[in-house]
Chains A and B, each alone.
Chain A
Amino acid sequence: MASPQPRIGVVTYPGSQDDRDALWALAALDAEAVPVWHGELELPDLDAVVLPGGFSYGDHLRCGAIARFSPATAAVRAFAAGGGFVLGICNGFQILCEAGLLPGALVRNESLRFVCRDVPVTVERDDLPFTTRCTKGRRLVLPVKHGDGRYLPPPDLDPAQIVLRYVDNPNGSVDGIAGICNETGNVMGLMPHPEHAVDPLLGSDDGALLLASLVDAARDRVLAAI
């Protein structure tokens, strides 16, 4: 029997930009990529959800501050509460922080400059649904492109929640944090863009390790439900 194709949703908010790349990358990694409009009150039947990068609601007030009140964000919150896998990339990470699904906040880069380049990051956790294809300590080269990527953790952040660290901190994030997960490990956010690094033609295919880990985990969920 062919292994089942997991269904992974990508939420499009007004101002999302990387939703199509995320859909494309997930489909290329053998998932059924499902577009989800931000106005949806309920998610379709999904095995994982990705909140993509971009500038939802024009980044007004604070990045992600308005998107957190979208109907689909409430549905994602319920999905995560049920143990569903949720990955927020860049603006998606900012939305998850604003929504309280991840701890901390993302603020203006220390340099006040928008950074847009490939950066190396180190994998700190290889036991999460987002990282099982990596080994701890592995370096991944992923592109960043953000003006508000400086991560400020809450004072009580458990260091075990740090998933990725920058090798050369591009934005002033505390402790070089590039990606974190929630306490239960089913929600992750990161500023670099794995969906832009899934083919050597794009300069790196390291992002495919993270996304394929998510596809694996989502597939395991499908198999467990059969």
Chain B
Amino acid sequence: MRATVLVRPKPGILDPQGEAVGSALGHLGFEVQDARVGKVIDLEVDALDAAAAKAAVEQMCEKLLANPLIESYEIEVTA
């Protein structure tokens, strides 16, 4: 089963990478109000069903993939 984890800097955490990206887009003529930079982690996991896969990936996020103090995460599971 395929799982995608989106890791984002939490709201309120200063994200200088996002600011740099936003300002670069502004220089290119794009109108961007806000930009935040996170991470995408694609995983192949063995699981009986989507719920089991999501539960396993949630454990992975809590233990390693995200730092709950500074990052939030979102999990998408596709068959």
Residues of A within 8 A of B (CB): 61-62, 65, 69, 98, 104-105, 107-112, 152, 154, 172
Contact = CB atoms under 8 A, between A and B. Distances in A.
B1 interface: no
B64 interface: yes
23 contacts: A61-B64, A65-B64, A65-B67, A69-B64, A98-B67, A104-B69, A105-B67, A105-B70, A107-B70, A108-B16, A108-B17, A109-B16, A110-B14, A111-B16, A112-B16, A112-B17, A112-B20, A152-B13, A152-B69, A152-B70, A154-B69, A172-B14, A172-B16
Contacts of B17: 108, 112
B12 to A, nearest CB: 10
Interface in B51-75: 64-65, 67, 69-70
A105 B69 contact: yes
Interface of B: 13-14, 16-17, 20, 64-65, 67, 69-70
Nearest to B63: A69
A107 B7 CA distance: 14
Contacts of B14: 110, 172
Contact of A62 (B16, B20, B67): B67
Given A110-B16, A112-B16, 6 more contacts: A65-B64, A69-B64, A107-B70, A152-B13, A154-B69, A172-B14
